[in-house]
Structure 1
């Protein structure tokens, strides 16, 4: 903000005042855009700093964020005093019922999973008794060196791959004429 004061000539009013003056004098029903406000300020206040464009944008954004100006369809305008306040995004919260005065409210629970207790005893692993086997996928069994080599063929009596489709036998039919 200190650089603003150095660049700005002393005869100029503050930017928010110049912006409001421009909006009042332009008096358009749909508001005025940035270039119209800038040209009005340049025509009425002759000596402007070199950083006029950036200062104007900065002050317009600040005034928009604070609610002094409304930005609609690329135009800036004064807010309507009779308009309802702008609602935020999302669903509005449900109204809360009033609690009696002597009620003590507990603090809300923190989000997420609670941390593990380092002093607690570890739980024993549960083995399924119904089938006699442990839960989950069985462990891989290491193969012997002879079976793992690709040259060694293990014959199980069946050839590798999918068996061929069985085709029905064709019977000869003789045609007598």
Structure 2
């Protein structure tokens, strides 16, 4: 049996690095679209792995979301020096107020509810105000809700239960 040597593709650099190289080499002022980036990568690195188009799309989207690239009219370009700062997910942090001179940050008020004073007298009980809702048992003589089910009703002559 003859052993055939399978030709392994040369190890490729990470996709973000290849994308940045492509943008640097193409030097288009309005940016480069996905197909031109892909063509450059194929011409420089030769055979690309299976699923190259999906991998490229995934990495371009991730780099755009992280702020490494800008997407303008379906063209990707590097952000300029005056571009907004990159930040992760979530809302930006609130600006901190400057501490006054002579204050110790360790002695600031703690978070949460203040602790109860163990020496304070107990609070007086609150009286309930008269109920303004539907009438209660004491007012009508009947309990609230549906009446209980009677297992053995006794029928009188008129057909009324007793």
TM-score band w.r.t. shorter chain: 0.5 to 0.7
TM-score (norm 1): 0.51
Q: Residues of 2 paired with 1:55 and 1:79: CA distance? A: 22
Q: What are the superposed Cα offsets for residues 73-128 of structure 1, whole Å, 9 maximum, x if unpaired?
A: 33221110233436899898455132335422223338xxxxxxxxx99x565244
Report the equivalent of 2:132: 135
For residues 101 and 71 of structure 1, do their structure 2 counterparts lie closer, same or farther at Cα, with a shift above 3 Å needed? farther
Higher radius of gyration, 1 or 2: 1
Q: Provide Cα deviations, 1:33-90, integer angstroms capped at 9, x if missing partner.
A: 2222112212332211012112212322332344322233332211102334368998
- TM-score, length-normalised on structure 2? 0.55
Match of 2:45 in 1: 45
How large is the Cα RMSD of the aligned pairs? Answer: 3.9
**Structure 1 unpaired stretches of 5+:** 1-7, 111-119, 129-133, 144-177
- Shift of the 63–45 alpha-carbon distance from structure 1 to 2, 3 Å rule, reads same
CA–CA distance in structure 2, aligned partners of residues 12 and 92 of structure 1? 38
Q: Which ranges in structure 2 are unaligned for 5 or more consecutive residues? A: 1-7, 114-121, 148-162
How far, CA to CA, are the matches of 1:61 and 1:38 in structure 2? 14
5 Å-filtered alignment, 1:155-174, equals none
